[in-house]
Amino acid sequence: MIISKRIKKFLRDYQPKEHWNIDARKATNTFLCLSEFIQIKPVDFFSHFNEFIRPLKSDYQPKWIAFRDERREKHLAYLKSIKYSDFSVFEQALNAIPESCQLQISNSSIIRYAQLFSMKATVNIFCNRGTSGIDGSTSTAIGAAYATEQQTVFITGDLSFFYDGNGLWNSNIPKNFRIIIINNSGGGIFRIIPGPKATNAAQYFETPHCLTAEYLCKMHQLEYQKAYSTETVIKELSRFFETSEKPKILEIFTPSAENDLVLKDYFKYIQ
């Protein structure tokens, strides 16, 4: 399964001649053109399959690599031009994440932003996708942090975080566990996806609020940091991953009225 509806639609509209799903357990027909389900572990399949393939000369890969590189250049150029927003915060946060950590990503706009950025190769990335909702992302991240020796970093939105606030009521949270909350004051995803903003439905979906995580941190005895501009984000991230006696939360406040405009302009610019 993939997150991007654009990519999903593209691959459904321009289907391959053959689509094989190689998996020991189940077949996923995401692109509606599955031709073979080969029920075997991929590593076992390719250890034999590679013996039978013939190398062919083709410009397919170079063309796509050139296309990718062009888009990456435009991506970086756009990031340099934009104002403070969810988009710019994501770049700063992902660049600051330590090597070889476990990255947990929550749902809705957070996972959609994450797919637009390249990740460090040493970072293990997970998302509690659930039913495409906000259920249990914090609890999942804390459970994952407890079960691994790696440092775990959790990036979440404000609604996902507050929805599962009881996940912090846990005596087994590792000291090096870190949560980055991107607080855009409620349900930014509904300004991004088509539909709600075009009608009066947005007021029923968006859930605007003025809440912060500060008092939850005090109640659960977590260290709390906050940021509200490019300069403060850089400053707080520079010390956020330092060794501490308690888990930490960094709450980053972004302008709800600007975020969707910046993201939509990005897709226009990148075309």
Predicted confidence (pLDDT) per residue in 80-97, tens digit: 999 999 999 999 999 999
pLDDT tens digits, one per residue of 247-259: 999 999 999 888 8
Domain boundaries, the chain: 20-56, 82-270
Identify which of 259, 131, 141 has the alpha carbon closest to the alpha carbon of residue 189.
259
The answer to whether 115 and 90 are in contact (CB under 8 A) is: no
Neighbouring-strand partners of residue 153 = 103, 178
Q: Six-digit token pair at 67?
A: 């296309």
Q: What is the model's pTM?
A: 0.85
Number of C-beta neighbours around residue 127 at 10 A? 18
Whether 132 has a pLDDT exceeding 60, the answer reads no
Task: Over range 116-137, report the average pLDDT.
Answer: 83
* Local confidence band at 131 (pLDDT 50, 70, 90 cut-offs): low
As a whole number, the mean pLDDT across the chain is 89
User: Domain 82-270 has what CATH class?
Assistant: alpha beta
**Would you state the pLDDT for residue 206?**
63
pLDDT tens digits, one per residue of 181-229: 999 887 655 555 565 566 665 566 667 778 899 999 999 999 999 999 9
Pairing of strands 36-38, 20-22: parallel
Q: Six-digit token pair at 65?
A: 């690599």
Concatenated DSSP letters of 185-233: SS-THHHHSTTGGGSTTHHHHS------SHHHHHHHT-EEEEE-SHHHH
The answer to whether 79 and 91 are in contact (CB under 8 A) is: yes
**Would you state the pLDDT for residue 9?**
92
* Local confidence band at 237 (pLDDT 50, 70, 90 cut-offs): very high
